[in-house]
Amino acid sequence: MAGTYQQDYPNVQFFTVNSVTPTGAFVFVVPRNVFMIMVSMRGGCGGGGGGDAGAVYAGGGGGAGAFVSRMPIIVVPYQSIVGQVGLGGNGGAADAAGAAGGQSQFYVAGGVQLNANGGAGGGAATGAAYGAGGAGGALGFFTNAWAGFNGGAGAANLGGFGGSVAASYGGGGNGGNPGGKAGAAGSPGFVLIEYPATV
């Protein structure tokens, strides 16, 4: 009888942007006796657009990064595989758009390259218009993949909400409120690697 995926792939390595990997770059070394792994990832999320210096118009929310779920990849024990976690985009200052999130990547030399696109930054508010929501990260050419959700447009006295996907890992930055408030930064992406028990 076949086991569940938790039984078959009980081990996990999780990579994101933190004090250990501040640039998002990482190397995964395949453990002994492992010949297949499952890889999930999300691109970085866009930052929110800044609010107008006036009293009405708010910035748009940043778009979420695209998401790839449990793609199987054939590997070789002790193989070194390089990857990159997409950085979250910075929020825009007053009257400035938010920055786009970066692309997450996982590259097996001579073989498969997975990527998850980052979300776009939210639009800036102007003295005559609300900021538009940033587009979610575009869908890649993979099965088990989803585009990121778009950020919300700014509204009267309220910045647009950031888009989300894989919500437990954050989303796009919220847009800045009127009065010249800056937009919030988008969440960084992640790469999650599952692999079988080693003997």
- Given a cut of 60, whether residue 167 has pLDDT beyond it is no
- Indicate whether 13 pLDDT > 60: yes
Per-domain residue ranges of the chain: 9-18+25-199
What distance in Å separates the CA atoms of residue 61 and residue 44, rounded to the nearest whole number?
Answer: 14
Tell me what pLDDT residue 165 has: 67
Please tell me the predicted confidence (pLDDT) of residue 1.
36
Structure tokens at 104: 């997450």
How would DSSP label each residue in the chain?
-PPPHHHHS-EEEEE-SSSSSTTSEEEEEPPTT--EEEEEEEPPPPPPPPPPSSSS--PPPPPPPPEEEEEEEE--TT-EEEEEPPPPPPPP-TT-PPPPPPPEEEE-TTS-EEEEPPPPPPPPP-SSSPPPPPPPPPP-S-SSEEPPPPPPPPBTTBPPPPPBSSGGG-BSPPPPPTTTPPPPPPPP-EEEEEEPPP-
Q: Which residue has the higher pLDDT, 166 or 29?
A: 29
| Res. 2: pLDDT tops 50 | no
Contact between 177 and 92 under an 8 Å Cβ cutoff? The reply is no
In this prediction, residue 130 has a pLDDT band, given cuts at 50, 70 and 90, of very high
Cβ atoms of 51 and 159 closer than 8 Å: yes
Q: How confident is the model at residue 135 (pLDDT cuts 50, 70, 90)?
A: very high
Is 199 a residue whose pLDDT tops 70? Answer: no
The pTM (predicted TM-score) of the whole model is 0.90
Amino acid (1-letter code) at residue 111: G
Percent of the chain past pLDDT 90, that is, above it, reads 63
